[in-house]
Amino acid sequence: MLRPKETYSRLIKDLAKEQGFLFCGIAPAGFLEAEAPKLENWLKAGHHGEMAYMENHFDKRLDPRLLVDGAKSVISLGLNYYTEAQQSDPEAPKISMYALGEDYHSVIKAKLKILLERLREVIGEVNGRAFVDSAPVLDKAWAQKAGLGWIGKHTNLISKQKGSYFFLAELIVDVELAYDLPMQTDHCGSCTRCIDACPTEAIVAPYLVDGSRCISYLTIELKNEIPAEFQGKMDNWMYGCDVCQQVCPWNRFSIPHQESAFKPNPDLLGMNKKDWEEITEEVFQKVFPKSAVKRTKFAGLKRNIGFLNG
């Protein structure tokens, strides 16, 4: 006979599968002791660039119990976004795979809301919050603690079975559950492909990324002009970058997602180099109606395309 917490954990994983999540793992909520000095040193080194918000809520980033009263469990989930669809013009400025469809924030938030509602139907009163890359939660650390994978040398989470093309999200709840074993093994070995391939040398050491040099930061987070030192080093990326994942051997196990919301806009895939260079705000709104690309705004995308043309 399964005890209630084991029954609830199994239920959560079944419900997560129903919602289309690639995987689900559960860890006990507590202070992330090992991550505290790493985060502090990363911030002190200025690797967060202009992302000043990374300095806020330091304690909350390390302890989910400060985010949810009485938190006992962190439910980590992964949602696949891998697609074999590609932009038709190989010369066109490139967009990171994760941004080819609808904005993942809204897609995943809706799934987490349903998941939490279903839990309340079964368990009763549950105090919990959903997090999708929009609050001070160290997603990758919790995913590793929940046994979903290990943090690779490029600092992305890697699953031995599924690669790394997936979004991470969490439900933090005040219910004690049966917990998964943390991933203790690092399967990167002596491989340095991601470090060697990074166009801007943003992976400054194994397991350490200088965010202020990362193409994703430069094309999305950076609000000022892109520094001239990166001229000719952007590998034709106008929004985000996939290089460290493209070269990772574990991504040979990636399989195409089944999420209709992530299906790429055919208009976007069909645009050629000239179309992008001459893009108008009207076209921008048509091509990216519900896209994460709206984060950089029309002016930001124009800036990025202009920088590529140098």
User: Among all residues, which ones are annotated catalytic?
Assistant: 133
Which DSSP state fits 221?
A: I
182: CB partners within 8 A, 6+ apart = 27, 144, 145, 146, 147
* Integer Cα distance of 117 and 128 in angstroms: 10
Question: φ, ψ for residue 66 (rounded to 5)?
Answer: -85, -10
Q: How far is CA 25 from CA 10, 101, 214, 272, in A?
A: 10, 26, 29, 41
- Cβ proximity of 114 and 18 under 8 Å: no
Alpha helices, DSSP H only, in the chain?
A: 4-18, 35-44, 58-62, 104-123, 139-145, 193-197, 215-216, 243-246, 266-270, 273-277, 281-287, 297-309
88: CB partners within 8 A, 6+ apart = 269, 270, 272
- Cβ proximity of 218 and 96 under 8 Å: no
Q: SS3 for 64?
A: helix
Neighbouring-strand partners of residue 24: 77
Which residue has tokens 């970058």? 241
Which residue has tokens 């954990």? 9
Joined tokens for residue 268: 């976007």
